[in-house]
Each structure stands twice: as C-alpha cells, then as structure tokens.
Structure 1
Amino acid sequence: MAGFAIIMPVLPKLIVELTGENLANAALWGGALMTSFAVMQFLFAPLIGNLSDRFGRRPILLLSLAGFGINYGLMALAPTLGWLFAGRLVAGVFGATFSTANALIADISPPEKRAANFGLLGAAFGVGFIAGPVLGGLLGEYGTRAPFVAASVLALLNLCFGYFTLPETLAIKKRRKFDWKRANPMGAFRHLAERPVVLRLAVVMFIFGIAHQVYPSVWAFYTIEKFGWSAFDIGLSLGAVGVVFGLSQAVVTRWAIPRFGEIKSAAVGLAALSLAYLAYGLITAGWQMYVVILASFVTAVAGPAINGIMSNRTSEDEQGELQGALASVAAVGAIVGPALFTGLFGVFSKKDAAIYFPGAPFIGAAIVVALALLVFLSAAKMIKDDHKIAE
C-alpha cells in the first residue's frame, strides 16, 4: 500500500508534465491510470488466489514484492504517458495478491476472530497510507520521479524482510488441486453464486469498492483545485487519513465486532462513511478536511466485518479462491469508480462549467455508499432468516 501511496501526491503534476493538459483533463488521465490497474486486478486476482490455494501463500506474496520493486523502478524512468500506463498494468498483476494476504489471515485465525484480524491487516495498510503520502509529499519537492524510486526501494527491502521472516501458513494437506475453470473471473463469480448470502455481500463490496475509489482518484486533484494545496499538503492530509483508518481498523474493529457483532458494526460503518463523503463534498476550507477525517474514525470497521461474514461461510481450502473472487469484485468497482469520479470532477471543476462544484465526486460517493448500505441490510435479513430456519 505504501508504494502507490507514495506516488499519489505527485501524480497530478506528473501527468500534467507528460501531457501538457490542464488539471481537469489530467484528472481524466489519472482515472484512466486507475482503471488500467483495476482491469488487471480483475483478470488476475482469481488466478493468484487459486495459485495460493495450490502452492501456498508465501511464494505468491514474495513474487509480488519482487515485481513491485522492479516495476516502480521502471516507472521512475517513464518518458511518456504510455510508459506510465504500461507500468500500472504490470502493477495491477502483482497487486492482485491482496487476496493472498487476506487468505493468509484466514489461515491463522479462528472463525470468531477473522473479522477482527482482517481489521489488523487493514490497519497495516493504513500505516502504509500514513507514511506513503507524507514521504511522497516530501520527496515530491525534489521532483516528480523521486517518489517512484523510493517506492521501488521500499518494495525490494520488504521482499528481503519477507524472505527471512514470512512463514507459510497453508499446510500441504489443506492445499487443493489447481483448476483453470475456477481460476478466472467468471469461475470466481460462479463460486460466489453458489452461496446466496455471500453473493449478496459481494455485491455490497462491489458498490463499496466503487465509492472507495474517490480517495485515490480525485483527492489530490480536488484539494489542488479547491484549496490550492501543494504535494506536501496533499501528502500530509492523506497521512492523516491513514492514521485514522489504521487506528480504526486496529482499535475500533477489535472492540466493536466482538461487542456488537459483524452485522451491526458493518451497518454503522457504512452509514458513517456515507455521511463523511457528503461532508468532504460540502466543506469550504482546507482545515475542515481534517475535521471530517477525525470524525470518520468508525468508518473503517465496515470492510473487515463484511469480509469476516463471508470468510466464515467458506471452507478452509477455498479461502484463497474466495479472496480472489472478492478482489475481482473490488477490481470491477475500481474500474467503474475512477471513471465515475474523475468524470464528475472534470465536468464540475472546469472554469466554464455550468455549475462549478469540485466536490461533486464526494457527493456521488456518498450516494453510492448509501446504496451499499441498503443492499447490506437486505443481506443481513437473509442471514437472520437462515438462523431462524436453523433453529
């Protein structure tokens, strides 16, 4: 997570340098870059998840880190926008291993603790989101390529650390035969369709994933346009988001889920997130961004809670496949989200726009999360009905 977070503060400026476009048009290119990454995640996440069910989690994760290290180094040399696109496509392949990391957590966690431990993994990503933008903002003062070099070095250092410390968590007796019919997006979706509750929750994750793309897609563009922020200002604000997100995942998730259950925790998290996006879109001063960030403390509980419900309804030898399917679902959201939000930003942030309103993408995200909440409540009713039948 830190790798991409490092380059986020300088991405708008780099795109402007490579294209000569204004900020509104550069945002559209930024959305296309995000979409290219997501397309590769969609295609490769089920394959990676199934490979981890066959060969174990450790080799897949280490290979991913090696690929990231090399890729970011090559992206630092990008002379054209096409080169940058190629780099994001390759990164999308290696980035599909988030599903493997989730499967690793499922391997080592009893069912009643999986949601909370998914939260810890989210907290680790939050730490990357803290350090990455701040470091990227600082390095951005020395040029738009410096953050890419730093991302490459960090990935390779992480590879060395993982090689000596990361254990294998999937016992050989629990591994299953690799099947190409299941190791593709359509096969993954068929797997979800076999479990109605899991399928409904996957739809929630899809919608939720669309809304989440508002952060990487337009945060930098929005704050530059509305508040005139520098790369350092952007990095600092995203670092604050990471602090709150990480603490929420590490603290709130482990406190709320055991006390209130996964269903109530997820519902509250989704409702709070919708309100937070609404606030981001309506604020009028840069300092108010930090007020909303602090008020968003409870929002990060939703994802781990929903993931925990689905994981507990899946067998041990299919955890990688489940997480791969969910990664593909999220990737579809990541394809739709950047196009939606950068499109909204491009339309409403032009100086000659009929309605000048740069916050439009965040209002859109608030509406999308509200829809996710409605679908989740319908899934929660299915779960309660299942429990009544079982009793």
Structure 2
Amino acid sequence: MTPEGETTEENSSPANVAEQRRRRKIIYIVYLIAALDITWMFLQFSVTPYLAKKLGFDTLWFGYLQTMVGVIQLFGGPMFGRFADLFGARAALSLACSSTVVFFLLLAIADNPAMLFIHKLPTVFMHVLPSSQMVVADLSDPDKRADALSKLGLCFGVGMITGSTLGGHLNTHYGETFTACVGAVGSAFSLLLVLKFVPKTTKVQAPTNTDSENKSKSLFSVGEITRLMKFPGVMSTFLVKIISGLPSGIFQVMFSIIALEFFKLEPAENGYLMAYFGIVQMVIQGAVIGRLTSRYSESSLLLLSVGVSSLVGLAQANMQNVFQFCITVVPMMFSLSVFGVITDSVLTKSVPSSDTGTMLGLCASIQSLLRTVGPTIGGFLYVNYGISSIGLIQFVVNIAVFVHLLQNRLRKTAEQKE
C-alpha cells in the first residue's frame, strides 16, 4: 500500500498519476531523512550518558541536563511548527538539520560540564521528526493518514537499531568525540537530501488572502494556539496525550540511567538493547498499525493503547532484571506506537491543512513538556523509592484515563441510540 492509497478511476488521468508519483517520491525521501535523523539521535544516546558520567554528573545533574532540553524544546516546538506553516517544508527541515550539525559539533568538543549544557542549546530547532510528520500529513489522504504516519514509526525503528548499534560500537572502540563527529557528518548529509529533494512547500492548498490576513504571522502566537484548541476534540485529546503520556515519558527519559545503574549495562550492551527496541517497533509500525487502523476506529485504538500502557506499568513495577524488562518491551512499544500515531492523526485531522505544522509543533511540545518535568520527577522517584514507583504511577494514571475514555465512549454510544 502506498502512503496515499490506491488511485481511483476518477483520479487516474495522466496529470493526477504524475502528481501521485511526485507525492510518493517526496514522502519516501522524507522517510529516509527521518530514519537518518533518528540514527544520529540514537548514536548520540550512546555518547551523552557515558560522557556525563566521565565529567562527574550524578543522577540528579543528568536529570537537570535532560530537563534543560525539555524546556528548550517546549518553547521551540510551537514556534518551529508555525515556522514550517509560514515558510514551508524545505526551510523547516533545513533549519532542523543544520541545528543538528551544530549540536553534534558542540558535543564533540564538550570537555567540561558547562559545555555539555551548552551543546543542548541547538535543540530549540532540532525538530526533524515533527517536520517530517508535517510533510507526510500534507501529502497523504486523510483516511490513510494514520497508516502513513505509522511508517515514520517504522523509520524510527530503523534509526533506533542502526544508531544504537553503531553508537555503541563507535563509542567503545573510538570514544565519544569521534562518535559525535560521525553524527555531525551524517546530519550534514541529511541536510543535503533536504535541499536536493524536498520542495519549498507541501501544502495542497495555500490559504486565501483573507485567511492570511486574519491569521497572525508571528512565530509564537498565543492567539493561534488558542484558536487551534477551540476546534472540536482538540483540547480533550491534548489532555489525554499529556496525562497518559507523562508516566511513560518519565520512564523513557530515565531509561539511560536505569540501563547504567539498575541493569548495569556497558555501552555496547545498551546498544544491543536499543536495537531490540527498534526491531520490535519496526514490526509494530510496519506490520501491525496499518492493519489495525483499517479495521478499527481511532477511538477504539486509543482506548486499547491506554489500557495496555497501564498493564505495562504494572509489569515494570515488578521487573527485576533485563530479561524481564525485554518481555515488557513488546506491549510497551505497542502502546507507545499506537498512542502516538492515533493522537497525532486525530489532532491533524481536527484542524485545517494550513495549520498541520503548528499542530504537530504543539504535539512535539507535549513530548518536550514530558521531558521537562520527567527527569526531575523520575530522578526523585528513582532515588527515593526505586524503579517500581515509576511503574506503579504509570499503572494508576493510565487506569484512570482508561476509565474516563470508556465512560465517554459509552455515553456517546447511548446518545447515538437515543
């Protein structure tokens, strides 16, 4: 199945066929760019925790470092989304890839704690994945959007496997500086792909002059955010995304510390574990989500993902070793993948096509919010109550969200019958 779906007889004219092919080519190139970006990011995950430990960071200070990234991207996400809507896909992806190059160059020369904080500053513009989501959302049909977005998750899995394995080996054999330089060169290659293949804009229809006059042109506009939140279903979906995603977000941002201290993994072993994550995600994103979205409603899949997430939290609260954790990885990646794809699909469909970039920027800011509060909360819980406390909180919170979503669904079903 193509990202846009099959062409119909009505749309089978030579011009439409050529347009479909052009869209497919752009989407496939964007998939490649996203896979490469995730590769470089997971390569970086094989560097930062071990470099931080060498520079004297403890769990608390590493949490501060992660919190700084969350704060920066929390404000950068909405601005970057608006930038993409106003200036087009090529400008947005070029800015994101250029920032990634600077990020890795600063990491390569980080030889003291201050430089390790400074190298995080370019993350304010490092939003390659949201930019890729914007392009896919713009060029895919609404009824195929969830499946098309899920293919980005497949790219995520490829990048996770490649980046984790490559980063673990490079860091073990050549050190942190060389590994960071590889990331810088790779990000520069991604930038060249953007400049060569991605068009200036991917919006199907440009907004009318009246719309343009009525909408703010500033990169960060509270009025624009408020306007989008007033569309039906947007605010409630955002609240679910934040509340349900917080506990699992805490675990994710703390995982590098958990792998280092609780599981006591070496860089290469951590790379293998992350590669295992990637394989599981590739299977789920490539072979499962597309079939699920074609058979079941988005509301049903959202309910399922939250329910599975609660069970994952209960399992994590009771795990004692890496083997037990590997068993929980399958349902964990399933719930995270389905939850992310479905919520992003619902939110982009709830707003006009001219605002998909801003909406996806806001979605990215939710992840940044989780990374902002997650390290502080996670560090406190881990140090004082152990890893089991993080899992128990995920179980309780997601059970509550599950009950809320189920009650809303039953109420809507009763109203429709009446």
TM-score normalized with structure 1 length: 0.86
Distance in 2 separating the partners of 1:87 and 1:316: 35
Within 5 Å, give how 1:359-370 maps onto structure 2. 359-370=388-399
Q: 1:3 aligns with which of 40, 48, 56?
A: 40
Distance in 1 separating the partners of 2:290 and 2:164: 26
Distance 1:62 1:380, change over 3 A: farther
Q: Does 1:66 align with 2:98?
A: yes
Q: Which residue of 2 aligns with 1:329?
A: 366
Distance in 1 separating the partners of 2:79 and 2:408: 27
Distance in 1 separating the partners of 2:143 and 2:412: 16
Q: Does 1:127 align with 2:163?
A: no
Within 5 Å, give how 1:279-294 maps onto structure 2. 279-294=315-330
Contact 2:251–2:378 (Cα < 8 Å) also in 1: no
Q: Which residue of 2 aligns with 1:345?
A: 382
RMSD over aligned Cα, in angstroms? 2.7
Structure 2 stretches lacking a partner, 5+ long = 1-37
Q: Which residue of 2 aligns with 1:257?
A: 293
Contact 2:168–2:270 (Cα < 8 Å) also in 1: yes
Distance in 2 separating the partners of 1:114 and 1:223: 35
Distance in 2 separating the partners of 1:239 and 1:128: 9
Q: Which residue of 2 aligns with 1:312?
A: 349
Q: Which residue of 2 aligns with 1:52?
A: 84
Contact 1:140–1:147 (Cα < 8 Å) also in 2: yes
Contact 2:247–2:397 (Cα < 8 Å) also in 1: yes
CA shift for structure 1 position 361: 2.7
Contact 2:102–2:184 (Cα < 8 Å) also in 1: yes
Aligned residue pairs, count: 375
Q: Which residue of 1 aligns with 2:197?
A: 165
Distance 1:99 1:75, change over 3 A: same
CA shift for structure 1 position 60: 0.8
CA shift for structure 1 position 237: 0.9
Within 5 Å, give how 1:17-166 maps onto structure 2. 17-19=54-56, 21=57, 26-91=58-123, 93-141=124-172, 142-166=174-198
Q: Which residue of 1 aligns with 2:17?
A: none
Distance in 1 separating the partners of 2:232 and 2:135: 24
Contact 1:8–1:216 (Cα < 8 Å) also in 2: no
Q: Does 1:273 align with 2:309?
A: yes
Distance in 2 separating the partners of 1:280 and 1:307: 26
The structure with more radius of gyration: 2
Amino acid at match of 1:9: S
Contact 2:138–2:204 (Cα < 8 Å) also in 1: no
Distance in 1 separating the partners of 2:53 and 2:143: 49
1:164-194 per-position Cα deviation (integer Å, ceiling 9, x unaligned): 2233422573486495577437345413431
Amino acid at match of 1:61: L
Distance in 2 separating the partners of 1:337 and 1:379: 28
Q: 2:269 aligns with which of 210, 214, 233?
A: 233
Contact 1:64–1:95 (Cα < 8 Å) also in 2: yes
CA shift for structure 1 position 200: 0.6
Distance in 2 separating the partners of 1:181 and 1:336: 30
Answer with 277-286 or 81-90: which moved more: 277-286
Distance in 2 separating the partners of 1:14 and 1:135: 17
Distance 1:31 1:191, change over 3 A: farther
Distance 1:278 1:309, change over 3 A: same
1:266-306 per-position Cα deviation (integer Å, ceiling 9, x unaligned): 21122212222332332222222222223445322121112
CA shift for structure 1 position 262: 0.9
Amino acid at match of 1:364: I
1:308-346 per-position Cα deviation (integer Å, ceiling 9, x unaligned): 122222111111122122222332222122221122122
Structure 1 stretches lacking a partner, 5+ long = 349-356
Distance in 2 separating the partners of 1:87 and 1:206: 27
Q: Which residue of 2 aligns with 1:352?
A: none
Q: Does 1:358 align with 2:387?
A: yes
Q: Which residue of 1 aligns with 2:402?
A: 373
1:56-99 per-position Cα deviation (integer Å, ceiling 9, x unaligned): 112211221011012211111112222111221222x1224543
Distance 1:155 1:215, change over 3 A: farther
Distance in 2 separating the partners of 1:27 and 1:260: 42
